[in-house]
Amino acid sequence: MINETHDAGLRSWVASANTPGTDFPVQNLPFAVFRRRGSAEAWRGGVAIGDQVLDLAAAHATGAFAGEAAVAAAHASAATFNGLMALGPRYGSALRLALSRALREGAAQAGSLAACLVPQREAEYTVPARIGDYTDFYASVHHATNIGRLFRPDNPLMPNFKWIPIGYHGRVSSIGVSGQRFRRPKGQIMPPGESAPLFSACRRLDYELEVGIWVGQGNALGEPIPIDRVDEHVFGLCLLNDWSARDIQAWEYQPLGPFLAKNFATTISPWIVTLEALAPYRTAWSRPAEDPQPLAYLDGEGVRKHGAIDLQLEAWIESAKMRADGSGACRLSHTSLRHSYWTVGQMVAHHSVGGCNLQPGDLLGTGTQSGPSLDEAGALIELSAGGKNPVSLPNGENRTFLEDGDAVILRGWCERKGFARIGFGECRGEVLPASGD
């Protein structure tokens, strides 16, 4: 899976792509749908390179691409990536290779493509695909155990967790791109010790540090995706924040799972980092010997050798006071996707095993990603032990759950010796007061 596009020695004629620590070197080349901020321009596909966006519609018009890369570029020039996703990995790989060669130092296309660059600071983004369905999983054993201990100290994990990737279907219409601002949700809450619920604004609003999985090529109804063919059906990954109203959820989730507690907002990062770009950061996956081993349809040599992805993940908070003071956001936690109990491939394979036809542009969430120690927890409900232990912020503020005006910023990146560091950009969302407040 490693090819010339991953060469750590590559440099770009776009100078900012060579800056140490940039999320978007020439080895990354993630996709987003954008236009110039505040304009009436058509939405179209773009590729991040340094602090710039390469306008794919404009680049395609210059004749910079040929063959399968040109076919892919034509689809990537549209207002959504569904067409590009449907083409499958061969076409996406051809476009990635053509972009890599065109953006390297000394490329013959440098002159014509320079006119196709738009500074990222002048761009705005939208959800990059028409999402047909959204499914959220519960794939972190550390998160599940931490949550379970709050409610079932003697038996924190449900008996099926170690056998099956648990998931539920979420709401598509409230998915927004980074920068999303949403109102605090309202719903029914059952206060402790009471016999009847009350209708109220959420009092225990939380974030969830997740990874989003974009489906590429779909599968036919009734034809499951085999575990060893999953990579042919995943277009790429993004960051995802599945905001949660914990008090509303506690009252409503039995017997059918989350409803109003989850459907009010989900925020994703605009950039899709392709599965091919992530190839150097794939790593071995294993299951503890004392745990049940996956059933055959969820296991295999490929899963064991490179099923996990060492994707570093962080959650930051910026309160209204921090913004007013100019003190900047502070980090709440840092973990890695490699700790996930279920892999990206296992989630996709399980989703389709009953015959479900996944479609290009469908979005899956991994569920909150938490590591084995508390400072790797991916949600405030874990960090504050269900609200019992307030989290102290550097400016003297405390948080058990989110307050109005709080913004949460998710960040992610991959790095490995011998390869370039690549990043995901930011996934930012901000809490507004409930309607009527």
CATH architecture of the domain with range 134-432: Alpha-Beta Complex (3.90)
| Segments of the chain scoring below 70 in pLDDT | none
Provide the pLDDT for residue 21: 95
Active site residues: 143
- Domain limits, CATH 2.30.30.230, in the chain: 4-126
pLDDT tens per residue, range 8-50: 999 999 999 999 999 999 999 999 999 999 999 999 999 999 9
Write the CATH number of the domain with boundaries 4-126.
2.30.30.230
Question: For the chain, where do the domains classified as CATH 3.90.850.10 start and end?
Answer: 134-432
pLDDT value of residue 152: 85
Mark the binding-site residues for Ca(2+), compressed into ranges: 136, 208, 210, 242
Residue 272's pLDDT is what?
A: 98
- Report the pLDDT value the prediction gives residue 195, as an integer from 0 to 100: 95
Q: What is the pTM of this model?
A: 0.97
Summarize the annotated binding site as residue ranges: 136, 138, 152, 208, 210, 242, 249, 253, 262, 266, 368
pLDDT at 154: 84
Which residue numbers belong to the known binding site for substrate? 138, 152, 249, 253, 368
Annotated binding site for Mg(2+): 242, 262, 266
- What is the 3-class SS of the chain, one letter each residue? CCCHHHCCCCCECCHHHHCCCCCCCCCCCCEEEEEECCCCCCCEEEEEECCEEEEHHHHHHCCCCCHHHHHHHHHHCCCCCHHHHHHCHHHHHHHHHHHHHHHECCCCCHHHHHCCEEEHHHEEEECCCCCCCEEEECCCHHHHHHHHHHHCCCCCCCCCCCCCCCEEECCCCCEEECCEEEECCEEEECCCCCCCCEEEECCCEECCEEEEEEECCCCCCCCCCCHHHHHHCEEEEEEEECCEEHHHHHHHCCCCCCCCCCCCCEEECCCEEECCCCHHHEECCCCCCCCCCCCHHHCCHHHHHHCEECCEEEEEEECHHHHHHCCCCEEEEEEEHHHCCCCHHHHHHHHHHCCCCCCCCCEEECCCCCCCCHHHCCCHHHHCCCCCCCEECCCCCEECCCCCCCEEEEEEEECCCCCCCEEEEEEEEEEECCCCC
